[in-house]
A and B are shown apart, each in its own frame.
Chain A
Amino acid sequence: MLFKSTYNEFIKIAAKPRSYLGVAAITLIVGLILIAMKLDGRMYISLITGPFEQSLAFEGNVLNGNLIAFIILQMLIIHVPLLIAFVTGDLISGEAAMGTIRMLLTKPISRTKILFSKYIAGCAYTFLILLWLAFMAIVVGKWLFGTGDLMVLKSDGLIVLQQHDIAWRFFYGLLIAFLAMVMIATLSLTLSCFSENSIGPIVSTMGIIILFTIIGTIEVPLFDTIRPYLFTTHMAAWRYLFDEPLQLGDVFFSISILVAHILVLLGIAIYKFNKKDILS
């Protein structure tokens, strides 16, 4: 029954026009970045290399597909969560707003299974969005700009990763990014259980991301203690894989924080959805 219900959720997501906004937005944003880089990328590169030019000599294809992909993946922090919340925040509340939740919950399938089928479909949608972003960033980026070593600008210096040492970093980096985006999907689905309209969970998700990001940025002793445990602190954890030497401890800490958030939020969603009186 879970399989059939999940299949239904895939059909619904595939049939909703809003589901394609994410793909369209990514194509547009990444497309614009690629065009801008193609036209004016050298100037951007000089901003990165400028401080080091007196001590280092830069040779070869510096503005390459790897660098472009790395730059584009920074979008994960704000744009992609919004696109994901736009669909996953609607999964429960959208049914309440349409009135279909009455029909859905009078069928012989438990509420927990319905919630899980929506969650699985939401995670699959998140995966497809990330896959499309990766395709646009890595495949199209390399096609347009070729390949080469990757320069990663850090606050304390510049890391140059050899071209043969990059593919695995993108692969695992995208897996961690997927986990971070699943966390966003879980948050918006949970908020969706509390709402009767689609806009509330989407706006609330973005509001929480912005609030936590601000808390994580302000240098105040009180916030210093909670910062490591905010999910927003770990949304860009994929970037740890582009450090040299690799700090695996940081990677696993970020993964555990994200997984913990997902489990707690899922627990809240299951509890709320099962207890909820359907009055819409």
Chain B
Amino acid sequence: MSDKIIEVKNLVKNYGSFNAVQNVSFDVFSGNVFGFLGPNGAGKSTTIRVLLSLIKPTSGQVKLFGKDITTDRDYILSKIGCIVEKPDFYKYLSAEKNIELFARISGINVTKSKVHEIIEFVGLKGREKDKLSGFSHGMKQRLGIAQTLIHNPQLIILDEPTTGLDPQGIIDIRNLILQLKNEKNKTVLLSSHILSEIELIADRMVIINKGKTVAEGNVKDLLNAQDLIVAFTVSDIETAQQLLKANNYIEFTVAASQILLHITQPQIAEVNKLFCANNINVFSIETKRKLEDYFLKLINH
């Protein structure tokens, strides 16, 4: 496995008697898209704010790039681009001026052409001179991503980047994140409560609830370890049921022209082979149980 970019160990953050984060631990590896999942109020934003030194931890260890955030803040932040909650800009300045301003404070001398290149990358070409007061939420999100990229950081932290976006905006931001990973080789920590988003683009993830870690690992492994509800649409339901019983697949139900099976991911291929070998045509296979079920199971546990 590649280098650890973020190491969080037993992080605790209390506000008086309220425990916002309790013993959260996770690692983020270089080149990964890391999903940071949890329901509203789980402690995601608090954890991200600690990672970015916006708030101080009560206890625990937070290391980024092998250094402690409390002692090497400036070094660490020079390697990070981030959006915390929502990208807020100086609305009385143009998009171009905002990016220049954040580049300058990130310690880099940026040319106009570089600024225009970044703005074009996030799909805002032609809006460089427009003031932010006229930008939609989606456009601000895109500019927020431009702002995270301007100093070419290794790690990008995006806190709920698709909140408030329309479906097309969500797809655009998702593609942009994949582009960052695949084309620009960035490590991305993506916080979200939209589970399908994490399932589609994250390599690894952590799920937190009520300030505590409830699961951490590879997204596929975590999901594969769970029973899925898989719907097979077949040509001959009667024969299919008999075959399943004969092969010890007991947990299944029939609904319309579909057979719903409680099986793991590797078993999907086995059942498909079984049907095909016995001349039952399989018209479709749908996985009904996904991250959402897993997530709900964990947080309601």
Contacts and interface: CB of A to CB of B under 8 A. Distances in A.
Nearest to A114: B105
B56 A104 contact: no
Contact of B90 (A1, A98, A107, A275): A98
Given A103-B147, A278-B55, A12 B104 contact: no
A106 B55 contact: no
B153 to A, nearest CB: 10
Interface residues of B, number: 32
Nearest to A3: B104
A106 B77 contact: yes
Nearest to B76: A108
B84 A15 contact: no
A4 interface: yes
Interface string B72-89: 011111101010111111
Interface in A1-30: 1, 4-5, 7-8, 11-12, 15-17
Contacts of A99: 85-86, 88
A278 B105 contact: no
A86 B136 CA distance: 29
A106 B55 CA distance: 11
Interface in B18-72: 49, 52-56
B54 A105 contact: yes
Contact of B107 (A11, A109, A279): A109
Interface in A83-123: 98-100, 102-110
Contacts of A16: 92
Contact of A110 (B49, B74, B78, B84): B74
Interface of B: 49, 52-56, 73-78, 80, 82, 84-93, 97, 101-102, 104-107, 147
A246 to B, nearest CB: 46
Interface of A: 1, 4-5, 7-8, 11-12, 15-17, 98-100, 102-110, 275, 277-279
Given A105-B54, A106-B53, A107-B106, 18 more contacts: A5-B104, A5-B105, A11-B93, A12-B90, A15-B90, A17-B92, A98-B88, A99-B85, A99-B88, A102-B54, A103-B87, A103-B147, A105-B53, A106-B52, A108-B74, A110-B73, A277-B49, A278-B55
Contacts of A98: 88, 90-91
A51 to B, nearest CB: 53
Given A106-B80, A108-B74, A11 B97 contact: yes
Contacts of B147: 103
A277 B86 contact: no
A59 B107 CA distance: 64
27 contacts: A4-B107, A11-B97, A12-B101, A15-B93, A15-B97, A98-B90, A99-B86, A100-B90, A102-B85, A103-B88, A103-B102, A103-B147, A104-B105, A105-B53, A106-B53, A106-B54, A106-B77, A106-B82, A107-B77, A107-B102, A107-B105, A107-B106, A108-B107, A277-B49, A277-B55, A277-B56, A278-B49
A8 B106 contact: no
Which of B56, B92, B101, B105 counts the most A-chain CB atoms under 10 A from its CB? B105
Contacts of A15: 90, 92-93, 97
Nearest to A274: B56
A148 B92 CA distance: 46
A12 B105 CA distance: 13
